[in-house]
């Protein structure tokens, strides 16, 4: 039935797809920090059945598409850490690296700077500073983390890692999270809940 309907109405899916992807491009044009750092990224929270199109629109619009699926990177959240024995970030990262091998990056969602320090020491390639209420507080935390693991602080090894900022990021407040110590700002607001651009398809005659 669906195939038959599509055969009779081929222009409708084309308009839908273009309306959806164009809406993302419109939002990106206004949301991008327009700085060399950090990069603006989407999230994995895409429209069911439309992920590939939305990820493509993000890339075309100049944003980072982020993870394409769960296998793209191991992301450790609080539930994953609590499920480990012992329930520590260090143990969770070690378990994830043992399971994923050398080719899969590990990211840890951190609620505070202390958790981020543990994640970096454990070998996480990406630390997510999640749901910070204050942009100024987050920028300071990011600065301290980068300086702590720069190789210039006695007792700390130099470590290369990315800082991702996420949680509560919108078009209105994204500028407050932008600084030289943040590598990625990710938000689903650039592809979830955006208004469709109105398209129509006419036959030239």
- Residues noted as catalytic: 45
Alpha carbons 90 and 162: distance in angstroms, whole number: 17
Q: What is the 3-state secondary structure (H, E, C) of the chain?
A: CHHHHHHHCCHHHHHHHHHHHHHHHHHHHHHCCCCCCCEEECCCCCCCCCHHHHHHHHHHCCCECCCCCCCCCEEECHHHHHCCCCCCHHHHHHHHHHHHCCCCCEEEEECCHHHHHHHHHHCCCEEEEECCCCHHHHHHHHHHHHHHCCCCCCCCCCCCCEEEEECCCCCCCHHHHCCCCCCEEECHHHCCCCCCCCCCCCCCC
CB contact at 8 A, 24 and 58: yes
Tokens describing residue 137: 């507080």
Alpha carbons 178 and 185: distance in angstroms, whole number: 8
């Amino acid at each position: 039935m669906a195939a038959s309907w599509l055969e009779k109405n081929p222009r409708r899916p084309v308009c839908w797809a273009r309306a959806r992807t164009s809406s993302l491009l419109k939002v990106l044009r206004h949301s991008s920090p327009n700085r060399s750092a950090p990069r603006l990224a989407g999230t994995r929270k895409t429209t069911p059945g439309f992920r590939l199109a939305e990820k493509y629109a993000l890339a075309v619009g100049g944003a980072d598409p982020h993870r394409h699926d769960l296998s793209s990177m191991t992301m450790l959240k609080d539930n994953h850490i609590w499920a480990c024995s012992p329930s520590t970030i260090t143990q969770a990262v070690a378990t994830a690296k043992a399971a994923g091998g050398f080719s899969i990056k590990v990211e840890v969602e951190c609620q505070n700077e202390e958790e981020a320090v543990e994640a970096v020491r454990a070998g996480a390639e990406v630390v997510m500073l999640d749901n910070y209420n204050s942009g100024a507080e987050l920028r300071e935390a990011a600065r301290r983390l980068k300086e702590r693991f720069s190789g210039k602080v006695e007792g700390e090894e130099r470590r290369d890692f990315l800082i991702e900022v996420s949680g509560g990021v919108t078009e209105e407040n994204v500028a407050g999270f932008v600084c030289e110590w943040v590598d990625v700002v990710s938000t689903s607001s650039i592809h979830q809940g955006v208004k469709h651009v109105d398209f129509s398809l006419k036959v030239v005659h």
